[in-house]
């Protein structure tokens, strides 16, 4: 399998080179040159497998440059850190299926990919005798998951930018209480969009990227998306076993469009997804795009689901590549137009194609609180506010002809304030969070300026 850029100037990369490149050197995002397709029989067989074996089967279709035994070993080690034997269990509650993606070390879906990516980086750096300085941006969850993926690992330093004062108290503590010498937390005076744009600018300076061997942990990195494809197959297998369904909906709380794009890849591979339900909070550029073709950037608004407080969704570029019939010149032009004008227009035929894959809803603060409260009253199950956004959209949009799986992207204990507003008490804390407030912390506050971040990285790089 070879990888190429959405903008067409980088081609023919191996999987390992694509992982190490992170952001494509032409500023685009890397994608496989073709998407492997599965027969219904293949899908059925995958649905019977335990999580690590399923992950190996899915990865093997995209990775042909790591020996099978080594790939298996990387996968098995990555999912041993999860506290649930099924890794990503599916539970049936109040008419929907909840795909629990929060049983990893930092209690969010990011662990599913970042436990693997941390081990993969370690493996590749050892093989190449190289070192790496990871530079990533987070709205709250990628940061700690990436830090836990690489903390204490040799030949890797990690620099994570989070928006100062705009992540939940637990999210901040999960990052800043990791004081291993290879971990650097930077609280940026700005939004997640500012942090993501700084990261992309730093990667776009190819001399800087090469001098400091920059590595990407955001969903910029194809390996992140690939690891997230697996649980769509897993959930379908579990729900099909229970219901005999032939099609399924997935409802995905969406910010940077990485998680739902993984579902789109699963659909292109042949998973019978009736529609992907794209659920946003008030930062709703993506749901406006699906519903009205209105892809115009707004101001980042603070909400009860802070990890989705994103306007410029990185992976949208990967989707545009397919929407534009795999024409990289059109993608490059559109990204340039969007940079200048802050909006894109779509033809009727394109909007019709979007509608074949996606449904969408914007869910506001009041609706988020009501959903957590009503779901808890009906079932005793506590949703985190991001998951609640997806559950609300699922209930509003999924037709009764196929079951709906809601991706539970974080544990409610990460967002205690929102949960308290909804049910009058805080959720139970998992053991990993006990005493987190009392641990030593390390973090620097920094201006939202690319040069300031580059200077900091240069002073602390390996």
Ligand X SMILES: N[C@@H](CCOP(=O)(O)O)C(=O)O
Which positions lie near ligand PLP, rule CB under 6 A? 108, 139-141, 219, 253-260, 307-308, 386, 409-410
Please work out, in degrees rounded to the nearest 5, the angle formed at the alpha carbon of residue 187 by the alpha carbons of 23 and 182: 65
Q: Applying CB under 6 A, what is the total number of residues that bind ligand X?
A: 13
User: How many angstroms separate the Cα of 70 from the Cα of each of 56, 119, 123, 287?
Assistant: 11, 11, 9, 40
The single residue of 16, 110, 395, 414 carrying the catalytic annotation is 110
- Residue 110 known to be catalytic: yes
219, 283, 362, 371: which one binds ligand X (CB under 6 A): 219
Q: Which does 185 bind (CB under 5 to 8 A by kind): ligand X, ligand PLP, none?
A: none
Q: Which does 237 bind (CB under 5 to 8 A by kind): ligand X, ligand PLP, none?
A: none
Q: Which does 280 bind (CB under 5 to 8 A by kind): ligand X, ligand PLP, none?
A: none
- Quick check: 5 and 30 in contact, CB under 8 A? yes
Cβ closest to ligand PLP, residue 89 vs residue 385: 385
Q: How far is the CB of 136 from ligand PLP (least distance, A)?
A: 12
Cβ closest to ligand X, residue 160 vs residue 369: 160
- What does the alpha-carbon distance between residue 216 and residue 221 come to, in Å, rounded to a whole number? 6
Nearest C-alpha neighbor of 139 from the set 336, 283, 277: 283
- Quick check: 182 and 209 in contact, CB under 8 A? no
Query: Does 195 sit near ligand X (CB under 6 A)?
Result: no
Q: How far is the CB of 462 from ligand PLP (least distance, A)?
A: 27
Q: Which does 218 bind (CB under 5 to 8 A by kind): ligand PLP, ligand X, none?
A: ligand X
Partners of 5 in the beta sheet?
A: 30
Q: Which does 138 bind (CB under 5 to 8 A by kind): ligand X, ligand PLP, none?
A: ligand X
**Contact stretch for ligand X (CB under 6 A) within 138-146, 149-157, 183-191, 318-326:** 138-146
Q: How far is the CB of 147 from ligand PLP (least distance, A)?
A: 14
Cβ closest to ligand PLP, residue 47 vs residue 306: 306
* Binding mask of the shown chain, residues 278 to 317, with x at each position contacting ligand X by CB under 6 A: -----------------------------x------x---
Q: Which of residues 7-26 bind ligand X (CB under 6 A)?
A: none
Q: How far is the CB of 2 from ligand PLP (least distance, A)?
A: 25
Cβ closest to ligand X, residue 237 vs residue 253: 253
Cβ closest to ligand X, residue 362 vs residue 398: 362
Query: Does 6 sit near ligand X (CB under 6 A)?
Result: no
Nearest C-alpha neighbor of 286 from the set 317, 331, 262, 328: 317
Query: Does 254 sit near ligand X (CB under 6 A)?
Result: no
Query: Does 140 sit near ligand X (CB under 6 A)?
Result: yes
Query: Does 176 sit near ligand X (CB under 6 A)?
Result: no
Q: How far is the CB of 140 from ligand X (least distance, A)?
A: 5
- What does the alpha-carbon distance between residue 335 and residue 443 come to, in Å, rounded to a whole number? 33
8, 105, 118, 255: which one binds ligand X (CB under 6 A): 255
- What does the alpha-carbon distance between residue 251 and residue 290 come to, in Å, rounded to a whole number? 14
Q: Which residues bind ligand X (CB under 6 A)?
A: 138-143, 218-219, 255-256, 258, 307, 314
Residues marked as catalytic: 110
């Amino acid at each position: 399998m070879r990888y190429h850029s959405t903008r067409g100037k980088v081609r023919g990369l191996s999987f390992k080179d694509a992982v190490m490149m992170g952001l494509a050197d032409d500023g685009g995002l890397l994608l496989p040159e073709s998407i492997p397709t599965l027969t219904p029989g293949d899908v059925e067989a995958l649905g019977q497998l335990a999580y690590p074996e399923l992950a190996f089967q899915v990865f093997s279709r995209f990775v042909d440059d790591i020996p099978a035994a080594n790939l298996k070993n990387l996968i098995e080690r990555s999912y041993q850190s999860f506290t649930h034997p099924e890794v990503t269990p599916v539970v049936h509650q109040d008419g929907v299926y909840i795909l629990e993606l929060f049983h990893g070390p930092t209690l969010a879906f990011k662990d599913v990919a970042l436990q693997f990516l941390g081990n993969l980086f370690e493996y590749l750096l050892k093989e190449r005798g190289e070192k790496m300085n990871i530079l990533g941006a987070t709205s709250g969850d990628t940061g700690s998951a990436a830090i836990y993926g690489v903390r204490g690992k040799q030949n890797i330093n990690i620099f994570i930018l989070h928006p100062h004062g705009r992540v939940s108290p637990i999210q901040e503590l999960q990052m800043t209480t990791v004081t291993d010498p290879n971990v650097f937390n930077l609280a940026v005076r700005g939004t997640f969009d500012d942090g993501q744009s700084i990261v992309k600018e730093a990667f776009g300076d190819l001399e800087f990227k090469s001098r400091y061997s920059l590595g990407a942990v955001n969903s910029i990195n194809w390996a992140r998306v690939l690891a997230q494809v697996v649980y769509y197959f897993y959930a379908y297998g579990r729900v099909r076993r229970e219901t005999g369904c032939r099609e399924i909906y997935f409802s995905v709380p969406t910010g940077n469009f990485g998680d739902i794009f993984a579902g789109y890849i699963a659909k292109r591979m042949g998973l019978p997804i009736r529609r992907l339900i794209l659920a946003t909070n008030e930062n709703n550029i993506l749901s406006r795009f699906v519903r009205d073709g209105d892809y115009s950037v707004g101001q980042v608004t603070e909400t009860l689901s802070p990890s989705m407080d994103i306007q410029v969704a990185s992976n949208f570029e990967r989707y545009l590549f397919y929407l534009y019939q795999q024409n990289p010149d059109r993608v490059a032009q559109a990204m340039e137009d969007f940079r200048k004008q802050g909006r894109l227009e779509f033809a009727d035929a394109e909007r019709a194609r979007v509608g074949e894959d996606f449904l969408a809803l914007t869910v506001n603060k009041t609706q988020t609180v009501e959903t957590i409260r009503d779901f808890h009253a009906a079932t005793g199950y506590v949703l985190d506010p991001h998951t609640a956004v997806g559950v609300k959209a699922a209930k509003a949009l999924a037709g009764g002809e196929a079951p709906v799986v809601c991706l539970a992207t974080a544990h409610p204990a990460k967002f205690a304030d929102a949960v308290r507003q909804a049910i009058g008490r805080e959720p139970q804390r998992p053991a990993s969070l006990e005493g987190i407030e009392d641990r030593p912390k390390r973090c620097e506050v920094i201006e939202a300026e690319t040069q300031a971040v580059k200077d900091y990285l240069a002073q602390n790089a390996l």
